[in-house]
């Protein structure tokens, strides 16, 4: 009997890449990967364990799959990923419905277990099968993290940083391009510390300079740049290479010096401001995305006001806000979680209200301009695309009035704007 496997990938883009590697390995073994869990013999859930909400979603998804198994619709339930890596013993005890748990780096073992073919332990990365639309793909350049931010549990789940070689990354990038990928999204837990652990030592700038030569790729987008590690060399590479999008995801987390110090972020507010100024000077039309945490232990009204004022001053183009969630085993977990839930929510809402106004103003200024977009999907006679300044799933979209080929670039004129979308017609 041919096995049918359904994979549920939760959490971040780094998890998605792990799922894609497993899917590729399964397909190479002749195993059918299906979209619906109800039609699967085996359900594999790739879990996220980073925040309370993500952990709850992972557990709920496992329990829903367990019901399918108990009803006889699935024969096996497998769990992999960050939650499984961090709490293997607890999960085995609490979730006996799960047949086997795997960690974050068990791709080959998972394929071997499902296929029964042990040689797949040695299958290389090129078997990866994209779960994104075929015209863009995430390019994971390192695993783990050395930073030790007080609030973050990633090193506990994914270990210390282990960078891939430039040759391996460029080879994968070219392979993706050969398969039709036109946009690469460079990811790691901290892209700006890429290569520090290699011998000889390498830097993100070295990698970007090489990726810029990959044939077939038009856009290269960089995510998760730690401001403390954003060197002049990296800024120069971002500015000099024509395929690098004029966009940077640079999570600052906060802007109050006492909070930043407690978070162990490595820069104070003035240091962050200097980095942002350097970026904007080198790349005048760059768009910056950031993420923030509100309600961190000890965050006072004055700390929050400092953060609010900084967002108002900097006018980030894209912005997301998380409310602090205590992570077991982190340094911040030893601090009293003393900001009430409602205060956290109110502070998040205040920042987002501010950002809505900034985004609306920025978008309105684009009306009448011509821009290039990449088309991600067609829907009800329209096309949904993105500009160079927007990453998939998290940033603004451009709604084009006609259907255009998915995966192709199109020149459009902006006709209207909302808080987080633009409307356009083809030029």
| pLDDT of 120 | 53
For 145, residues 6+ apart whose C-beta sits below 8 A from its C-beta are 152, 154, 155, 158, 160, 161, 189, 190
Bond into 200 cis (ω within 30) = yes
Q: Where are the alpha helices (DSSP H) in 87-165?
A: 88-94, 107-115, 154-158
Q: Tell whether the model's pLDDT for residue 124 goes beyond 50.
A: no
The answer on 49 and 99 residing in a single domain is yes
The answer on 180 and 323 residing in a single domain is yes
The answer on 289 and 306 residing in a single domain is yes
Q: What percent of the chain has pLDDT over 90?
A: 77
Task: State the chain's mean pLDDT as an integer.
Answer: 93
The residue out of 347, 364, 381 marking a domain boundary is 364
Sign of the CA dihedral with 168 first, then 171, 176, and 182 last: positive
The answer on 139 and 108 residing in a single domain is no
The answer on 161 and 51 residing in a single domain is no
- The domain in which residue 342 lies consists of 126-364
Return the beta strands (E) in 48-190 as ranges. Answer: 76-81, 100-101, 136-140, 142-143, 162-163, 183-187
CB 397 within 8 A of CB 421: yes
Give the count of beta carbons closer than 10 Å to the beta carbon of residue 194: 26
Q: Which residues of 43-81 are buried (b: 16+ CB within 10 A; e: fewer)?
A: bbbbbbbbbeebbebbbebbeebbebbeeeebebbbbbb
pLDDT band at 126 (very low <50, low <70, confident <90, very high): low
| pLDDT of 43 | 94
Mean pLDDT of 140-159: 91
The answer on 198 and 133 residing in a single domain is yes
pLDDT band at 56 (very low <50, low <70, confident <90, very high): confident
Q: Where are the alpha helices (DSSP H) in 200-295?
A: 204-211, 232-240, 257-263, 269-282
Q: Tell whether the model's pLDDT for residue 40 goes beyond 70.
A: yes
Q: Where are the alpha helices (DSSP H) in 125-230?
A: 154-158, 166-178, 204-211
The answer on 351 and 251 residing in a single domain is yes
Give the count of beta carbons closer than 10 Å to the beta carbon of residue 103: 18
pLDDT band at 125 (very low <50, low <70, confident <90, very high): low
The answer on 346 and 230 residing in a single domain is yes
* 113 or 305, higher pLDDT: 305
Q: Which CATH number fits the domain that encloses residue 383?
A: 2.40.50.140
The answer on 233 and 165 residing in a single domain is yes
The residue out of 341, 364, 387 marking a domain boundary is 364
The answer on 148 and 51 residing in a single domain is no
Q: Which CATH number fits the domain that encloses residue 59?
A: 3.40.50.12160
Mean pLDDT of 89-96: 91
Q: What is the pLDDT of residues 186-236, one digit of tens each?
A: 999 999 999 999 999 999 999 999 999 999 999 999 999 999 999 999 999
| pLDDT of 136 | 97
Q: How many domains does the chain have?
A: 3
Q: Tell whether the model's pLDDT for residue 118 goes beyond 80.
A: no
User: Computed over its alpha carbons, how large is the radius of gyration of the chain?
Assistant: 22
The residue out of 89, 124, 159 marking a domain boundary is 124
Chain centre distance of CA 21: 16
Q: Which CATH number fits the domain that encloses residue 166?
A: 3.80.30.20
pLDDT band at 252 (very low <50, low <70, confident <90, very high): very high
Q: Residues 137, 61, 101, CA angle at the centre, nearest 5°? A: 80
């Amino acid at each position: 009997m041919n096995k049918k496997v359904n994979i549920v990938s939760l959490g971040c883009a780094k998890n998605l890449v792990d799922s894609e590697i497993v899917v590729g390995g399964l397909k190479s073994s002749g195993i059918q990967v299906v979209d619906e869990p109800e039609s699967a013999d085996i359900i594999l859930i790739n879990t996220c364990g980073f925040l309370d909400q993500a952990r709850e979603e992972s557990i709920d998804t496992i329990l829903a799959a367990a019901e399918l198994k108990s009803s006889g619709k699935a024969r096996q339930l497998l769990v992999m990923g960050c939650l499984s890596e961090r709490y293997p013993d607890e999960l085995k005890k609490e979730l006996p419905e799960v047949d086997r748990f795997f960690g974050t780096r068990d791709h080959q073992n998972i394929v071997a277990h499902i296929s029964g073919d042990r040689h797949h332990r040695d299958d290389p990365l090129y078997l990866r099968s994209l779960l994104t639309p075929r015209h863009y793909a995430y390019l994971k350049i390192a695993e783990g993290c050395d930073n030790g931010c007080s609030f973050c549990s990633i090193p506990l789940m994914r270990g210390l940083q282990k960078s891939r070689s430039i040759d391996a990354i460029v080879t994968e990038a070219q392979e993706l391009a050969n398969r039709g990928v036109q946009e690469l999204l460079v990811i790691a837990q901290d892209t700006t510390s890429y290569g520090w652990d290699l011998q000889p030592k390498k830097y993100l700038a070295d990698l970007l300079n090489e990726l810029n030569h990959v044939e077939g790729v038009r856009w290269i987008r960089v995510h998760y740049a730690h401001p403390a590690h954003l060197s002049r060399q990296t800024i120069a590479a971002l500015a000099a290479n024509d395929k690098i999008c004029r966009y940077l995801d640079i999570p600052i987390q906060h802007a109050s010096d006492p909070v930043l110090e407690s978070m162990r972020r490595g820069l104070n507010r003035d240091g962050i401001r200097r980095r942002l100024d350097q970026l904007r000077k080198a790349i005048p039309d760059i768009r910056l995305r950031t993420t923030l945490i509100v309600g961190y232990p000890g965050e006072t009204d004055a700390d929050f006001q400092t953060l609010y004022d900084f967002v108002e001053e900097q006018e980030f183009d894209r912005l997301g806000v998380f409310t602090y969630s205590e992570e077991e085993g982190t340094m911040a977990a030893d601090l009293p979680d003393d900001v009430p839930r409602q205060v956290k929510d109110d502070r998040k809402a205040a920042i987002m209200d501010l950002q809505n106004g900034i985004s609306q103003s920025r978008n309105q200024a684009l009306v009448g301009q011509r821009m290039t977009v990449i088309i991600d999907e067609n829907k009800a006679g329209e096309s949904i695309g993105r500009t160079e300044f927007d990453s998939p799933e998290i940033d603004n979209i451009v709604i084009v009035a006609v259907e255009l080929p998915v995966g192709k670039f199109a020149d459009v004129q902006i006709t209207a704007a909302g808080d987080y979308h633009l409307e356009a017609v083809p030029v």
